[in-house]
Amino acid sequence: MKKLLSLTLLLLVLVSCTSQKNSEEFIKATSGRYLFNANEILEIYFEDAEMHAKWRGNDNIELLKINDSSFYMKELNEKMLFVNQPKMHIELAPKTEHKGIVYHFKKLKVDEKTAGEYFKAKEYDKALAAFKDIQAKDSTNITIRQRSLNRLGYDFIRNKDYDSALEIFKINTHLYPKSSNVFNSLGEAFFLKKDTVNAILNFKKSLSINPENRNSKRFLKRLEKQ
């Protein structure tokens, strides 16, 4: 608590000696969307030449200017450094809590989206490419966990959004082609879409990976009787 109070007091002293206004050049270079994590955005914008951020549902976070390239964000309790080499990005200033770890937030291109945003926009090919990119960089990332994506698909099904369920299950089969469960889920989505041919194909694929998948056996038996 004492350390936090000391840091806050120091920042207040620094801020009081620093103009919160920013140059047009700096505003142009730093405004935009940054990849906070694999599937989450931190957006930087300016009002009256003063820096603000949008993050996790809060659209008006004020950042305290420490100097021309560093700003304090109370919601993170972190000092953010804006670095323009090799390309504009944000780094968190060194801190005891994350000693030895460099946090690097990439600035996205104007038309670039996260995997989730591509999916929401129904740009499924781009969503798949983005999910694959996450998997290539970190196969354990929560964003591309097989169970998480499958759970999302069944959430769509509960809301009777069978098209979205079908697409997220398709993505899951591309990410986990050796999983019986993901092909079983895709088969269920095709079944709900009344696409018997593709439902049968995916239940058979599920069973080719795991012959003991009871759900696939049950659906396949039911469909082959029709």
Question: pLDDT of 213-225, one tens digit each?
Answer: 999 999 999 998 8
Burial of 81 (0-12, 13-18, 19+ CB in 10 A): middle
**pTM (two decimals):** 0.86
What residue ranges in the chain does DSSP mark as E strands? 32-37, 40-47, 50-55, 58-62, 64-67, 70-73, 78-83, 89-92, 104-106
pLDDT at 6: 55
pLDDT at 100: 87
Q: What angle is formed at CA 117 by the lines to CA 81 and CA 78, rounded to 5 degrees?
A: 20
Instruction: Round to whole Å and give the CA distance between 179 and 165.
Output: 17
Spell out the domains of the chain, with CATH numbers in brackets: 2-106 (no CATH), 145-225 (1.25.40.10)
